[in-house]
Structure 1
Amino acid sequence: MDQASDKLINDGHRVGDFVDDTSANRKPTNVVALQEEINHQTSQKDRRDNHFPPERSESRESGITRRSSIMKDNRPRNRVKKTVSFTSMPSEKKITSVADCLAFMTRGTKLIKVRSNSRQYWRTFTLDTDRSAIRWTPTSKKPDLAKVSIASMKEILIGKRTEVFRNRDAADCAGECAFSVVYGDDYESLDLLASSPDEANIWVTGLMALMVSLNGSSVHNLNSNHLGYDERDAWLSECFQSVADVFDTDKTLSEDQVAALIADLCPTLPLSKIKQRIKEFQSTKVDEGLTSIDMNAFIEIYKELATRPEIYHLLIRYANKEYMTVDDLTTFLESEQGITNASREYAVDVIERFEPSAASRSNSHLHIEGLTRFLLSDECDIFDPVHRVVCQDMTQPLPHYFIASSHNT
């Protein structure tokens, strides 16, 4: 053993700095190997003290990269694209009218076509651009046969109400996603399953509106966002104009003014959500140089925020138009709300108390705002108002109540 090596081994302080306990306790039978280990660890410590990057390790060569080396590695990588999701982006317009439903149907939807022989097929269903028929692809039939015209439709059934659905296992499909189109002189049924209740509601609402329009009812002008003379738009225009008159603006309002107006008309909406939607809407108008909001933009923003699709679909389902009459509301109260012997007088009272538009109240019409306010009121609360006060017998001894109670109470 040479003098330098002997000094390295016998100098306890120096060896202890760079050699772990197992190395220090080993017999110095291989002095060369021990000195190489000391030199390697000394080199690593010097690099750390001088902030040098660590040497490339074998794990790096095997494809496992250190955290600090990710940005330094210029090799191409398959990175997952990160996206940010908002509650309502401008490109994801919510269904707020029959026109929105028809546009959705025209773009096409994948639905399951259910057959009586227990077979089912995914098919793409679309509404013709002239809105005269719905058709599906792919099909083994001729294109002219793989369709059902709107004129031949007799009824739209919601849920699993046909023989085809009743013969299937109840667990096969959710009733909220099922609907059937009854058509033809033989009353055949086209039984369909949507991927979600929302898609089923859109198709049911759109088909009902088309059938009513074809039969010459008051539902018309389906190309616009309203059906005929729209009392709802007239009411919103009056609300906007009244605020514009107060601030003496030139038919426009600022973002804060519009947010305050919408919050006043729809108190259940969080102000933060209203402001976020306004900013998203304004971001799409940057190229046009718009900094304020006009009446049409206000109506569009308000409808997207305040219209609840599930309530709107109920409205169309029972009224086949943009508002409920007294008879429509009476039917809704009996069928949907379970109010037995609902009278016309009660329906008129509901309209008078919950419909915000004076013009609609004078015509005994209940629009989506009035219906939403009614359904969210204490009058429709699932909680029994009788139980707001003590209504049980409280004269018994205390142990009686403990005995009669379950762990859930």
Structure 2
Amino acid sequence: MWTVWYPVTAMGEVEKCICTMQKGTQMIKLKGKSKTLVRVYNLDEHRSCIRWRPSRKNVKAKITIDSIHKVCEGKNTEVFQHFSGSHFDPNCCLSIYHGIHMESLDLVTTNAEEAHIFSLTLCKWLRQTFSEADRNGSGKLSIREVLQLLHKLNVKLPRQKVMEMFKEAETNHNQGSLKFEDFYTLYKMISARQELQLIMLTFSHYKDHMDIYDLIGFLESEQKMVNVSREYCQMIVNHFEARPENQVQMVLGIDGKT
């Protein structure tokens, strides 16, 4: 879960910060003990990950929002200590801790306001969005409120799929509502699905499914497998694809990859 560092601000302010992040901000990335890289960092259109460019990693050049543990301003990490001789303003420095091993992405912005926008927004916007959607102040969201909120966040998923995910995320004894922690789980599920959709489009040449040859390309390129056979991919389709019509055509849809 994210660590909250700042007092609650108005929703309009957070939305303004999000728009700024989506436009992109040029920052210096610190790497190793002496290397610096100038990159443009932005929040993607689905608000599910931070991406940067230029990068040779392309699709992999990202940090998903649900993998972020906390964001800290200042020169707090070991990486920043290696650059102690540099005259970076501490107010322009921030570190994003992410992933299973709590890795830090250490960045230097051009001014303190940009650093504050990134740290404040990443820690706050989802909880504030939840609070605004919770109109009666119950601390829970119904399926109707969740659907309205996802529409506001420009999340495009079939209603039936959202309802399935809602049920999966719900821990409130089937009362038909999600607490913030449950909604956070739902949001992570949706973010993962959107990432899969991007992969699907990339490797299927913008189809809504992968055929056997698309799947071979995905496994060899992304999963680093070698000499993937048609028979192996057919086994994957038969095992994971839920739709009979897709099994007949020997293709894997988004639900088969989820």
Shorter-chain TM band = 0.3 to 0.5
With the length of structure 2 as denominator, give the TM-score of the two structures. 0.45
Could you say which structure has the larger radius of gyration?
A: 1
